Amino acid sequence: MLEEYVRCSKIKNGPDILSRLTLINDQSHPPIRIYLHRIGSKNYFDNQNNSELDIMKKLFYDSFTINRDMLRDADYLLAIMWGNNKEKIIDTFKFTDIHDWPGNPIVNSYVLSDGLYIPERTSIACGDGLLVLADEERYRRTTPNLDHYMRMPPEISGLEIDW
């Protein structure tokens, strides 16, 4: 299993992303890259001194245990966590049907609110999310395969990794 977590800083007109988490597991779920947006990020922190990483992982695993069918047939997932009032939201993008890499995948979107899939929710992303998704897809098309793409994340324009 690979787990890569980094803190991020917005530069210039970049997306307001606090951190990025990549999880590549053996068989329990498809590879996923999760971005935590600054908006409503305080919703994710608890009073038990759990780290941001632990909280992101727990919310992901709890949410997708409940919504297991959403993972079916996924080649990989991209997700953006953010908050609205006290609501914890995960905008999830499921990529499927990649036959010849890099191909042109089918993308389905889902909005999870406090861990539950809300099918009637049609607002699936914000402008910052679109910036991240565009750089992800542009980069993915330059990589030799899915494993390389997930293990070597892209640079996101206007986002600096805090090493």
Confidence at residue 143, expressed as pLDDT on a 0 to 100 scale:
98
User: pLDDT at residue 52 above 70?
Assistant: yes
Q: What SS3 string covers the chain?
A: CEEEEEEEEECCCCCCEEEEEEEECCCCCCCEEEEEECCCHHHHCCCCCCCHHHHHHHHHHHHHHHCHHHHCCCCEEEEEEEEECCEEEEEEEEEECCCCCCCCCEEEEEEEECCEECCCCCCCCCHHHHHHHHHHHHHHCCCCCHHHHHHCCCCCCCEEEEC
Is pTM, for the whole model, over 0.85?
Answer: yes
Q: What percent of the chain has pLDDT over 90?
A: 64
Mean pLDDT of 79-102: 93
How do residues 109-147 score in pLDDT, each as one tens digit? 999 999 999 999 888 889 999 999 999 999 999 999 999
Interatomic CA distance for residues 26 and 43, integer angstroms: 30
pLDDT at 40 exceeding the cut of 90: no
